[in-house]
Amino acid sequence: MAFTSRTPDISGERQSGQDVRTQNVMACQAVANIVKSSLGPVGLDKMLVDDIGDVTITNDGATILKMLEVEHPAAKVLVELAELQDREVGDGTTSVVIIAAELLKRANDLVRNKIHPTSIISGYRLAMREACKYVDEKLAVKVEKLGKDSLVNSAKTSMSSKLIGGDSDFFANLVVEAVQAVKMTNARGEVKYPIKGINILKAHGKSARDSYLLKGYALNTGRAAQGMPMRVAPARIACLDFNLQRTKMQMGVQVLVTDPRELEKIRQREADMTKERIEKLLKAGANVVLTTKGIDDMALKYFVEAGAIAVRRVRKEDLRHVAKATGATAVSTFADMEGEETFDSSLLGYADEVVEERIADDDVIMIKGTKTSSAASLILRGANDFMLDEMDRALHDAISIVKRTLESNTVVAGGGAAEAALSVYLENLATTLGSREQLAIAEFAESLLIIPKVLAVNAAKDATELVAKLRAYHHTAQTKADKKHLSSMGLDLVKGTVRNNLEAGVIEPAMSKVKIIQFATEAAITILRIDDMIKLVKDESQNEE
């Protein structure tokens, strides 16, 4: 029974039952429909204009959803879902939203047919567990089998729907090199790829194909003064998080001066304090000083005389990465326990050299040969800001995917292959169950087919025919023992045919698929559980006081 009522004891509107469920599902469908057309190698881009007129042109699901101001609480769950996928895997944000919305739509139909949401939820949970198990055991292929090309191919697959898809050969190699450049082994002996160490710099001019990889960490600022050396080697780097301006009195501190000559002394002392701080830095052996705040112009001469490079207004996160890469400690104050100001040389970081280079019209400080972990910088070139931003987003996705492929070492065939295989498998599984979950699992299996369907529709191909062919192949693969190899059949969206996507090099990390299924199911279940919505009315009486 559905009704909307103003209950006398609640100051607000209450909706319950089927109404709410339908509303929630509609809201989620609306969000999914926005990103639907951007899925796949022929997906289209979205142009978002915000309230102050800034334009963003993008194909990245997470970015689109982050910029939409979503009002509806259930639809917000999908936006958070895309962000989670972006954080955990880095790619697959569009797919996860589309699957979640489809699961919801089908669940809603089941509820209308008098199946209790609890049965659907337990069916979905079971289907999710079985699907993840099946991906790991049957569909996943070890990377060793496919060789180094598999890394390049997974990067290409990730980029295929993006603006740089046309140059994916060039960029995929760039990405794989960049990720391998930051390879490190941690204390436990595990090989990790901290992709935070890859700094992406955007410089106007030239064409996208003129982008390149630099070994070393690049800072998007120049030296603070022209008199400083262009190059320092070996570099000992101090990372500061405070002002090297003339020290001023704290707010609210008053100094009453009776003798005007004393005033000059106070001024002098203020200048000297900064000088002493700089001398402490230089005495500790620092010849490169990075600070997030400002450096006084008159203080710069001390660095120039000492032949050191000082850089001001460094971004906080850049400072953190440099500190991590060089083994430096970011210092926010010189004060020690005794109230004296000291700077110990153990706080310095080390690098082989620090040089200033010109890229396009900007000066860039390069930190090369860092001590602890190696760092890499991708210098992107492109015609305009929109293009550079979109390249940045596309590369972030591709870099994340390569990292996941390297760390998990398993991939699955892309282009709707994994989804079609799971769909066929779950459908067969559903028929073996005699319980109420059977219907939910069958619907779950249907929902997964939304990915190949949308891929085909976006490519302007006949979705019904292609998906039917795809399912036929996967059915054969799972029923006949000698046709196992057919399990990697997926869509070729350029030609509009079905092909073996493992051989064609359309691959994604298995982990990405597993996470998509898990997250989408969790989100669908969260929204499915809701059967009552109470919107409270703002209490006016409190505001009047």
**Residues catalogued as catalytic:** 60, 93-94, 397
Query: What single-letter amino acid sits at 518?
Result: Q
CB distance 377 to 200 below 8 Å: yes
Contacts of 130 (CB under 8 A, 6+ apart): 425, 426, 429, 441
Q: What is the per-residue burial (b if ≥16 Cβ within 10 Å, else e) of 34-62?
A: bbbbbbbbbbebbeeeeeeeeebbbbbbb
Measured between alpha carbons, how far is 154 from 417 in angstroms, rounded to an integer? Answer: 14
Contacts of 370 (CB under 8 A, 6+ apart): 216, 217, 322, 325, 326, 349, 350, 351, 352
Measured between alpha carbons, how far is 388 from 384 in angstroms, rounded to an integer? Answer: 6
CB distance 527 to 81 below 8 Å: no
CA dihedral over 146, 147, 152, 155, signed as positive or negative: positive
Measured between alpha carbons, how far is 292 from 244 in angstroms, rounded to an integer? Answer: 10
CB distance 179 to 447 below 8 Å: no
**What distances in angstroms separate CA 42 from CA 33, 39, 164, 238, 539, one per listed residue?**
16, 7, 12, 48, 50
- Dig out the tokens for 104 from the structure: 């919801």
Q: In Å, how far from its chain's centre is CA 502?
A: 26
* Strand residues in 258-361 grouped as ranges (E): 288-291, 309-311, 330-331, 349-359
Measured between alpha carbons, how far is 39 from 454 in angstroms, rounded to an integer? Answer: 7
Residue with tokens 């990915």: 451
* Strand residues in 383-502 grouped as ranges (E): 410-413, 489-492, 497-500
Measured between alpha carbons, how far is 158 from 392 in angstroms, rounded to an integer? Answer: 13
Measured between alpha carbons, how far is 356 from 527 in angstroms, rounded to an integer? Answer: 53
- Three-state SS for 39-82 is CCCCCCCEEEECCCCCEEEECCHHHHHHHCCCCCHHHHHHHHHH
